[in-house]
Amino acid sequence: MPWLRLLRWKLFISHTLIIASGVLVLLPTAHFLAAANFAPEPAASLSPDAAPTDKASVASSAYVQSVVDQALLISAFAALTAAVIVSLFVSRRIVEPLQELTVVSGRLAQGYFRERTAINSNDELGALSQSINQLAEALEKTELRRLGLVADVAHELRTPLTTIEGYMEGLIDSVIKPEPEIFAMIQHEATRLKWMIEEMALLSRAEAGQLRIEPKPIALLEIIKQVAAQFQPQVASQELTLTLDLPPTLPQVLADPDRVVQVLINLLANALQYTPAGGEVTVFARSLDFVVQVGVRDTGIGIAAEHLPHIFERFYRVDKSRARQSGGAGIGLTIARHLVYAHGGEIWVESEGIGRGSVFNFTLPFNEPIAN
C-alpha cells in the first residue's frame, strides 16, 4: 500500500493507535470496575425469594453498567474524532512545510536559483528552511558570477577579434593598403588575443584550485633584479624611471620562482601602464618577522578609495575605457592574488587617491622554519 508510506497517514495511524490502545485498556477496566462496584450483595441476588428492593438493586446495577459502557463507547468515538482532527492539524504543521521544502529543493536542483521557502516557524523545520534559503542564495550568487564571467570573457575576446576582422575586411576590399604596419597591427591584436586566452585559462585553473606551485628556497633579490632588467626598454620608451630600493641581503623565501616572476611582472606592468611619462616606479623589498615583503610603488594615476576593496576582483577595472585602450582585461591582479595566496602570502594595495600613485605589496614566507 504505497499511500501508507505517506507521512500524513503515518501520523493519522499513530494517533489512532494511541487512542485505540487507550480505549482497549479503559473499556474492560471500567466495565469490570463498574460490575464489581455496582453488583448487588451475593445473598440477595441469588435467593429466589429476593425482596423487591434486591431486584431493583440488580436492575440498577445492570443499568449503571450499560450507562458506563455507553459513555465509554461515546468517549471512544469522541477520542477517535479528536485523533482525526489532531492528525489533520499536525500534518498541516509538519507535512505541508515538508512538501514545500521538497518542491523548493527540487526547483533548485533544476537550476531555478531564485526559489525560496516562506517557512519561518521557530522550530527544526524553520531552521531547515533557513538553511535551504541560504543554500539557494549561495547558488544564485555563484550562478550570477558565472553568467557575468561568460559575458565578460565574450566581451573581452570580441574586442581584438573585431579589430582583426576590420583590418582584414579593409585589406580584402583594398580600402587599406597591405603595408607592414597593418600586418604588425593585426599581429599585435592576435598576440593580445592569445595572451588574454592564456590569462583566462590560468585564472580558471587558479579559481579551480588547480594551479601547480613548486616551492623551493629562492633568493628574491636576484629575481627582482632580473624582472626589472626585462622592463628597462619599456621604461626608457615611456620616459619613466625605474628604481630598485633593495637591502644588501634578504632571507631566502620558500616559493615557486616562475610564479613569483609572474606576480612581479603583473605588478610592474601595471605600474608602468598606469604611470604617465616623467613618473617614477620603485621596487622595494624588506625582511619582516617571518616573511619578506616586496612592493611596487608608482607615482601614477592612483586609485580612488572606493575602488581599493575591489581591485583584486576578476575583470574589475577602475576606468574601463582606458583599460581597453591599453589592453587590460582586469584579471592580472586576480591571478597575482591567487599565486600569492597559494604560497601562503598576503597581497594588498595602498593609494592615497587619484593622481597620488599606488603601492602594491605582497609577502612570501621565509624558507627557514621559525625557531621558538
Per CB under 6 A, residues contacting ligand ADP are: 266, 270-271, 274, 298, 300-301, 303, 311, 316-319, 323, 328-334, 358
Select 57 or 266, whichever has its Cβ closest to ligand ADP. 266
Cβ contacts of 271-275, under 8 Å, gap ≥ 24 = 271/296, 271/297, 271/298, 271/300, 271/358, 271/360, 272/231, 272/234, 272/235, 272/238, 272/240, 272/298, 273/326, 273/328, 274/298, 274/300, 274/301, 274/358, 275/238, 275/240, 275/299, 275/300, 275/301, 275/357
- Quote the least distance from Cβ 332 to ligand ADP, whole Å: 3
- Quote the least distance from Cβ 298 to ligand ADP, whole Å: 5
Select 11 or 281, whichever has its Cβ closest to ligand ADP. 281
- Amino acid symbol at 317: R
Select 97 or 330, whichever has its Cβ closest to ligand ADP. 330
Select 160 or 332, whichever has its Cβ closest to ligand ADP. 332
| CA distances in angstroms from 58 to 30, 41, 65, 67, 177, listed in the order given | 18, 9, 11, 14, 129
- Amino acid symbol at 238: Q
- Quote the least distance from Cβ 272 to ligand ADP, whole Å: 8
CB neighbour class for 202 (10 Å; exposed up to 12, middle 13-18, buried from 19): middle
Select 303 or 364, whichever has its Cβ closest to ligand ADP. 303
Select 179 or 319, whichever has its Cβ closest to ligand ADP. 319
Q: What is the residue whose three cell numbers read 629562492?
A: 218
The length of the chain is 372
Select 319 or 368, whichever has its Cβ closest to ligand ADP. 319
Strand order in the sheet with 291-298: 241-245, 280-287, 291-298, 358-365, 347-351
- Quote the least distance from Cβ 253 to ligand ADP, whole Å: 23
Select 68 or 331, whichever has its Cβ closest to ligand ADP. 331
Strand 291-298 to strand 358-365: parallel, antiparallel, or no bridges (unpaired)? antiparallel
- Quote the least distance from Cβ 202 to ligand ADP, whole Å: 12
- Quote the least distance from Cβ 223 to ligand ADP, whole Å: 20
- Quote the least distance from Cβ 268 to ligand ADP, whole Å: 9
- DSSP code for 357: -
User: Residue 328 corresponds to which cell in the numbers above?
Assistant: 587590460
Residue closest to ligand ADP (Cβ)? 328
- Quote the least distance from Cβ 335 to ligand ADP, whole Å: 8
User: Do residues 295 and 240 touch, judged by C-beta distance below 8 A?
Assistant: no
Q: How far apart are CA 8 and CA 191, in angstroms?
A: 66
Select 186 or 331, whichever has its Cβ closest to ligand ADP. 331
- Quote the least distance from Cβ 274 to ligand ADP, whole Å: 3
Q: How far apart are CA 268 and CA 274, in angstroms?
A: 10
